[in-house]
Amino acid sequence: MTTILGRFGEIGLKGANRGEFERRLLRQVRQRLPEGAAASLRGGQVVVHVPEASAAQTADAMTRVFGLVSVIGAVPAAPNMPAIAGAAIDLARASGAHSFKIAARRVWKGFPLTSPEINAALGAAVADATGLAVDVHHPDLTLAVEVRSDVVYLHGQALPGPGGLPLGASGRAVALLSGGIDSPVATYLAGKRGLSVAAVYFHAFPFTGDRTKEKVVDLCRALGRYFGPMRLWVVPFTECQVAIRDLCPAPFATLLTRRMMLRVAEELSRRERAGALVTGDSLGQVASQTLEALAAVGEVAELPLLRPVVALDKDEIVAIARRIGTYDISIRPYEDCCSIFAPRHPRTRPTREQVREAEAPLPAADLLAAALSGSERLFVEP
Amino acid sequence: MDVYLDNAATTPAVPEVAAAVSDALLRRFGNPSSPHRWGIEASRVAGAARDVLAGLLGVAGEEVLFTSGGTESNNLAIGGLAAARRRAGRRIVTTAIEHSSVLAAVDACADEVVRLPVDAAGRVAPEAVAEAAAVPGTVVVAIGHVNNEVGTVQPVAEIGAALARLPQRPAFHVDGVQALGKVPLRPGEWGVDTCALSAHKIHGPKGVGALWVRRGMRMLPLMHGGDQQGGLRPGTENVPGIAGFGAAARLCAAAPDAAAGMATLREKLWEAISMIATRNGPGPETAAPHILNVCVPGLPAEVLLHALEERGVACSAGSACHSRRPEPSHVLLALGLPEAAVRSSIRLSLSRLTTEAEIDAAAEAFRDAVAALRRLVHR
């Protein structure tokens, strides 16, 4: 068996809710464990025991558990210096490093040596046994030693986790997923702050084909590596888009489309018992994302409208998309419905009054009802 | 009723083909290079398929070698012929409307590429080919016999004759992938040196093709390995695929009227939709029998495709290999169509299995889809 430690950060700060947060985190970790593995909470970290053969895979899966700041493969040793030194020498030999340092941390203050004393004693023992050089400034290997009353953990490099809060700790949200680059990143970031998310996708068949729908399903599958199985609402939206184009002034088409999308998403959020909507809006990126446009669109939603990527540059969004594995799916070149009906000269700085006036000819309630009644809910397994 | 009209992309296999593949997988599984009877049996299977294909082309069996498909055959021919003639030059002549496996192979193998223009029907002039090929340093001429997007049939025999009159005649490769089973294909008599074929366009399996190489042609292999297939295409032969190709070719040979039948149905389809569409490329007399490329002005091709799919009809915009890329078809642009027309053009392609009832259903679906979309799309 191998031991993997999952560290969490902020949960520790959350006072009375801490117990609930920890339970959610533990549940998320357990869902990712293979046969024969076990997870428990000990001393403010998640401790996983897993068969050697599936250790790497499990550690990798744990790096996608919201709430975990880092994931570390650890070697346990008995809390006495000879045992610790033996384990440290084995690790140093196996690492292939030329230089090292010891970074001891004494969680259990009852241990007879202080942290600096442990560093000195272990450093000498490892250097003598292996011939490796001690280098406290730029070591190839930093051997962390964590001293507890019942066990001592030694470990090398930590894998970064996503951080944030455990899934569901902040409640539920509905995210508008388009197939582009931004909305999957927004969904991910919402999940990172503890929101469990159901996605909604607006399908404008025959203007968008089944390839685009498949793309959104694949995005949910990729996000599912963080979220687990995801619910995806597919909303038939052709009628809405055609009505907006035929009945309303062209420069407002995108804004009115987005208002209808928010209305649909808000209705669906009732069915999902969700308390927020999540969009991939990034301030000033396109015409419908100026402050005025965001205001004119956002006013139709009663729920809080979360825009996790609002302040990110495209480069920053792309970097996250690459890291979480949605980028390559997002750049597949199938039309999404926004691009087909986009007006040639969109209004960039509309007032709310202008938008309401532009929308007046639209039978919004009927369109909303039709879109909802045609919606289907898919379950996407990661 | 589902109607599959994307046969220029690929065709369904028929039971005889599946049976031949299955038989080769399960019972004639030997390595054709092995000396024992299992090996001999497998090499007989491949040899029989080779002879059937050779019979279809009117060439000798030992001149046919098997590959992984049309793309490999085009690459092997163009790359292999060019490599063997490096000292003579690095110039290759082709046309503007070739399949991407020809254009990309040519680009990769030549220092100088001549892409000859075509007329509105997609035809290249034999004199223009000869003139371009007469320039010193020209080592290969590569031309598709039947264009995959619009069905133009190139005057391959005339081009072969014109090339034969040149003092320094370059090698002449023909991409015959869309021609096999659709139009007469006699490379041996037409002054052609190599000809690429593919099984899955004639109801055979995917992943197997062939290259006819005129006896005595100087050519280098692209891959290095054993001495199979004369060393030109090393590697253990794909015997199950080859058996399936052979079965498909046998059925082709047994259906000499198939082309006329396809042409009749294609014209029936065209007549049924000619009020709402325009026809791209060659007219019915000169076109290959299985391809109909039409433009429905004002409707984006992808939208029409989706609407047709909803009504059970499969077809394509440009060629299937291109449809994931948003660029307009290089073939239709080369025919001189404006970009707006190109973006509103789709290809319907038949096989010899297409029935009259399917054509009637497809025509109905087409009219219905266009009428429905006219209400949705801005004029």
Domain range list for chain B:
3-11+256-376, 15-253
B311: closest chain A residue by CA: A206
Q: Report, as an integer, the average pLDDT of B99-121.
A: 97
Torsion of CA B13, B14, B20, B23, to 10 degrees: 90
Q: How many domains does the structure of chain A reveal?
A: 2
**A208 contacts on B by Cβ (under 8 Å):** 306
Nearest CB neighbour to A209, from listed B302, B326, B376: B302
Q: Which residues of A touch B323 (CB under 8 A)?
A: none
A47-56, A358-367, A369-378: segment of lowest average pLDDT: A47-56
SS3 category, A212? helix
CA distances from B50 to B177, B187, B243 (A): 16, 16, 9
For the segment B230-248, the average pLDDT, to the nearest whole number, is 96
pLDDT of A286 > 90? The answer is no
Assess whether A271 and A374 both reside in one domain: yes
Q: What is the pTM of this model?
A: 0.83
- Is A208 at the interface with chain B, CB within 8 A? yes
Please check whether residues A191 and A156 belong to one and the same domain: no
Whether residue A188 sits in one domain with residue A116: no
Does A22 reside within a domain? yes
Report which of B336, B361, B79 is spatially closest to residue B222, judged by C-alpha positions: B79
User: Chain B residue closest to A242 (CA)?
Assistant: B376
Tokens of A110: 């009852």
Tell me: the pLDDT tens digits for B138-197?
A: 999 999 999 999 999 999 999 999 999 999 999 999 999 999 999 999 999 999 999 999
**What's the CA gap between A291 and A103, in Å, rounded?**
49
Nearest C-alpha of chain B: how many angstroms from A240?
11
Does residue A223 surpass a pLDDT of 80? yes
Measured from the Cβ of residue A314, the count of other Cβ atoms closer than 10 Å reads: 12
CATH tag, B3-11+256-376: 3.90.1150.10
Q: What is the dihedral of CA A305, A310, A316, A322, to 10 degrees?
A: 20
- Phi/psi of residue A209, each to 5°? -95, 180
Q: What distance in Å separates the CA atoms of residue A8 and residue A14, rounded to the nearest whole number?
A: 12
Q: Which residue has the higher pLDDT, A343 or A22?
A: A22
Confidence of residue A14 (pLDDT cuts 50, 70, 90): low
Which of B171-206 are b and which e, b meaning 16 or more Cβ less than 10 Å from the residue's Cβ? bbbbbbbbbbbbbebebbebbbbbbbbbbbbbbbbb
Q: Among the listed ranges A123-137, B8-22, B350-364, which one has the minimum average pLDDT value?
A: A123-137
Q: Do A115 and A182 share a domain, yes or no?
A: no
- The stretch A117-125 carries a mean pLDDT of 94
**Torsions phi, psi of B195, nearest 5?**
-145, 125
| Local confidence band at B320 (pLDDT 50, 70, 90 cut-offs) | very low
Q: Express each pLDDT in A307-337 by its tens digit.
A: 999 999 999 999 999 999 999 999 987 665 4
| Number of neighbours of residue B278 by Cβ within 10 angstroms | 14
At residue A207, the pLDDT reads 85
| Average pLDDT of the residues of chain A | 91
Asked if the structure places residue A166 within a domain, the reply is no
Whether A333 and B326 lie within 8 Å, measured CB to CB = yes
Nearest chain B residue to A239 by CA distance is B376
Does pLDDT of B117 surpass 50?
Answer: yes
Residues A9 and A112 in one domain: yes
- B302 → closest Cβ in A238, A332, A335: A335
Gap between the Cα atoms of B164 and A36, Å rounded: 75
Task: Over range B312-319, report the average pLDDT.
Answer: 85
Domain end marker among A136, A160, A184 = A160
Is residue A263 situated within a structural domain? yes
Asked if residue A165 is part of any domain, the answer here is no
A280, A327: one domain: yes
Long-range contacts of B159-166 (CB under 8 A, 24+ apart): B159/B124, B159/B126, B159/B129, B159/B130, B159/B191, B160/B190, B160/B191, B160/B192, B161/B126, B161/B190, B161/B191, B162/B126, B162/B127, B162/B129, B162/B130, B163/B129, B163/B130, B163/B133, B163/B191, B164/B191, B165/B130, B166/B130, B166/B133, B166/B134
Its CATH architecture, for the domain B15-253, is: 3-Layer(aba) Sandwich (3.40)
The residue segments making up the domain with residue A80 are 2-160
Interface residues on B facing A, Cβ-Cβ cutoff 8 A: 300, 302-307, 309-310, 324-326, 373, 376, 378
pLDDT digits (tens, 9 = 90+) for A333-356: 766 545 567 788 888 888 999 999
Helices B70-84 and B100-109 pack at an angle, to 10 degrees, of 20
Q: Identify the CATH number of the domain in which residue A9 sits.
A: 3.30.2130.30
CA quadruple A332, A335, A336, A342: dihedral, nearest 10: 140
Nearest to A205 among B300, B306, B325 (CB): B306
3-state secondary structure of A317: helix
Look at residue A34 and give its three-state secondary structure: coil
- Please state, in angstroms and rounded to a whole number, the distance separating the CA atoms of residues B236 and A155: 50
Q: Report pLDDT for B322.
A: 42
Q: Is residue A177 domain-resident?
A: yes
Q: Which residues in chain A touch residue B325, judged by CB atoms under 8 angstroms apart? A: 333
Residue A197 placed within a domain: yes
Least confident of A40-44, A145-149, B150-154, B334-338: A40-44
Dihedral sign, Cα of residue A329, residue A333, residue A334, residue A336: positive
Residues B82, B88, B90, B91, Cα dihedral to 10°: -100
Of A207, A210, A333, Cβ closest to residue B325? A333
Active site residue B321: yes
Q: ipTM of this model?
A: 0.74
Residues of chain A with pLDDT > 70, as a percent, come to: 97
Selected residue with higher pLDDT from A236 and A210: A236
Same domain (yes/no): A204, A297 = yes
Q: Do A205 and B326 touch (CB under 8 A)?
A: no
Q: Please report the pLDDT score of residue A209 as a whole number.
A: 84
The answer to whether residue A250 sits within a structural domain is: yes
A206/B373 Cβ within 8 A: yes
CA A82 to chain centre: 42
Could you tell me if A149 and A179 lie in one domain? Answer: no
Q: Write a three-state SS string for chain B.
A: CCEECECCCCCCCCHHHHHHHHHHHHCCCCCCCCCCHHHHHHHHHHHHHHHHHHHHHCCCHHHEEEECCHHHHHHHHHHHHHHHCCCCCCEEEEECCCCHHHHHHHHHHCCEEEEECCCCCCCCCHHHHHHHHCCCCEEEEEEECECCCCCCECCHHHHHHHHHCCCCCCEEEEECCCCCCCCCCCHHHCCCCEEEEECHHHCCCCCCEEEEECCCCCCCCCCCCCCHHHHCCCCCCCHHHHHHHHHHHHHHHCCCCHHHHHHHHHHHHHHHHCCCCEEECCCCCCCCCCEEEEECCCCCHHHHHHHHHHCCEECECCCHHHCCCCCCCHHHHHCCCCHHHHCCEEEEECCCCCCHHHHHHHHHHHHHHHHHHHHHCCC
Task: With respect to residue A138, please indicate whether it lies within any of the assigned structural domains.
Answer: yes
Give the pLDDT confidence score for residue A18 in this predicted structure.
83
- Residue A30 carries which side chain, given as an amino acid letter? R
Q: Which of A106, A127, A160 is the last residue of a domain?
A: A160
Would you call A111 helix, strand, or coil by DSSP? coil
* Statement to judge: residues A155 and A187 lie in one domain: no
Residue A206, chain B, CB below 8 Å: the answer is: yes
For an interface test with A, the pick among B299, B304, B306 (most A C-beta atoms closer than 10 Å) comes out as B306
Which residues in chain A are closer than 8 Å to B307, comparing Cβ atoms?
206
Interface list for A 248-307 with B (CB within 8 A): none
Question: CB of B324 within 8 A of CB of B317?
Answer: no
Confidence of residue A44 (pLDDT cuts 50, 70, 90): confident
Same domain, yes or no: A121 and A180: no
B378 to chain A: which residues are within 8 Å by CB? 245
Cα nearest neighbour of B377 on chain A: A242
